[in-house]
Amino acid sequence: MRLLITGGYGFIGSNFVRLLLAERPGWKIVNLDLLTYAGNVENLEDVEPQARGAGRYRPVRADVAEAGAVESLFGEERPEAVVHFAAESHVDRSIEDPAPFIRTNVLGTGLLLAASRRHSVGRFVQVSTDEVYGPLALDEPRRFTEDDPPQPTSPYAASKAGADQLVAAWFRTYGFPALITRCTNNYGPFQFPEKFIPLMITRAMQAERLPIYGDGLYVRDWIHVEDHCRGVLAALESGRPGRIYNFAGSAEWANLDVVGEILRQTGQSRSLLETVPDRPGHDRRYAIDDARARAELGWAPRRSFEEGLASTIDWYRTHERWWRRIVSGDYLVDRRSAV
């Protein structure tokens, strides 16, 4: 298999690369990444040299929203499949400036689809998010299924919904073998420290204030990144073109409870909690039904949230150099020659 992965230096993408290097030894992986602020070559520094030396892996620094670069790469590498992780993904940043989200998430996806079709790619997996479905009420008993229409509320979610619609259109119009995966909130190793769980972990480790939006009762379902990556792999290998597959962690927790558990496991006081003004359009609850993925792909999450959170806290504790370099900005130095 010659596989093109976009965004393979990001949080989820780098964990997916690690999974493939460990469990699909016959595959060749091309990692296309622009190395924006959240892409970090250090995420793969312990596995990349050996994989490159064995001819199994090639990193390429390029922009998915640059048509010439995309076309050149497809012509050179002739990938048999594409797994598309590359995206601007932080809701708060999208509220401040939606333009990069529209460019990367919508335009970039369209260019990848067009190049994939021109070069007869056999499978395209669009990695999306549960946020495209919009919010649910706290007391609403249902979870969104793949048949629910998108109702995004943030610029980030809208850009991902737009990308999903392009993928669906390529399947319906051209019969192109594309499918979509949507997951709940990821957590685990190598997550950029601005995101909720690593932000709370690293601040707790430094005995700093832990900012909580509003009343702290916003509910998210949490899935460990390795469980998500196994779901994406299952969709790549045995998902049906034209289908959408939801991946959930079956772990709905209020933000305030997540932070309380992090404080407990790090031995810190709840006096570190700090309520801050809420962000605009904050969705109260996300929840999705993953019955289709379980039935059609034979997938199920392997880690409970309690177990996964404990291992994640341990990871950040033993990888302090990694996250401190990011917080300080040191990892940004000399990125121009990173790949």
- Active-site residue among 156, 218, 245, 286? 156
Residue identified by tokens 């496991």 is 265
CA–CA separation, 18 vs 315, rounded Å?
16
- Please report the sign of the dihedral spanned by the C-alpha atoms of residue 58, residue 60, residue 66, residue 71: negative
88 flagged as catalytic: no
Q: From the DSSP assignment, how many helices (H) and strands (E) are in the chain? A: 13, 12
Q: What are the structure tokens assigned to 45, written together?
A: 């520094």
250 Ramachandran zone, left/alpha/beta (phi>0; psi -120 to 50): left
DSSP string, 181-194: EEE-EEESTT--TT
- Active-site residue among 48, 63, 130, 252? 130
Helix (H, G, I), strand (E, B) or coil at 315: helix
Cβ contact 219:254 at 8 Å: yes
Instruction: Find the helix or strand (DSSP H, E) in which 198 lies.
Output: helix 196-205
Q: How many CB atoms lie within 10 A of CB 157?
A: 27
Nearest to 70 by CA among 21, 114, 132: 114
Burial label, 295 (beta-carbon count in 10 A; 0-12, 13-18, 19+): exposed
- Active-site residue among 131, 227, 283, 290? 131
37 flagged as catalytic: no
CA–CA separation, 169 vs 173, rounded Å?
6
- What radius of gyration, in Å, describes the C-alpha atoms of the chain? 19
140 flagged as catalytic: no
CA–CA separation, 184 vs 171, rounded Å?
24
Residues tagged active-site = 130-131, 156
